[in-house]
Structure 1
Amino acid sequence: MKWQIQDAKNRFSKVVQQARANGPQTVTVRGERAAVVLSAEDYDALRAGRPTLVDDLLTGPPWDDAFVEAVNTRAKTPSPS
């Protein structure tokens, strides 16, 4: 269902109920699609199996030995500007 933003603001609990019962609810601004309200279940299904930013950072390419050495030997305090 489509909701104009003013109606969505005034009836937010109804928008959420509709998202839970009937699927995603589209919110429009001046007739243009602006946002979609999803149930938590639908959101979790969208996110399932997708890595988080932390996962991406932790599974990046391995550091070579020279880079590890440079990181370990750098100054431990910030350099003056």
Structure 2
Amino acid sequence: MKIQHDQPVHAGQWQLQEAKNRLSQLVNSAQHDGPQTITLRGKPAAVVISIEEYKKITSKPKLPLSQFFAQSPLHDVDLDLSRSADLPREVDL
């Protein structure tokens, strides 16, 4: 039985040694086929993604806190933010 080495074990999944040996193909697969998982001792250990995917994930615009709350689906909820004027109870230590 002949084992072909032109594809990872499972599409999108690479054993660490194979990923090291075929880094160019791994990067190419990440660019064209989507995220590629690298396994270590049979368990997922890392994921290689294209630069475009990385930019999508990391370049979300950061909103000022006031704008974040204004866009919240709960912005119309009326919260009682008043504080009780009573003194706190005594605690025996």
TM-score by length of structure 1 reads 0.60
- CA–CA distance in structure 1, aligned partners of residues 60 and 17 of structure 2: 35
5+ residue gaps, structure 2, are: 1-11, 63-93
How many pairs does the alignment contain? 51
Alignment root-mean-square deviation, CA: 1.0
| Larger helix percent | 1
User: What's the counterpart of residue 7 of structure 1?
Assistant: 18
- CA–CA distance in structure 1, aligned partners of residues 33 and 14 of structure 2: 14
TM-score by length of structure 2 reads 0.53
**Runs of 4+ residues deviating >3 angstroms:** none
Opposite residue 13 of structure 1, the aligned amino acid is: S
- CA–CA distance in structure 2, aligned partners of residues 30 and 44 of structure 1: 30
5+ residue gaps, structure 1, are: 52-81
Query: RCO higher in 1 or 2 (8 Å CA, sep ≥ 6)?
Result: 1
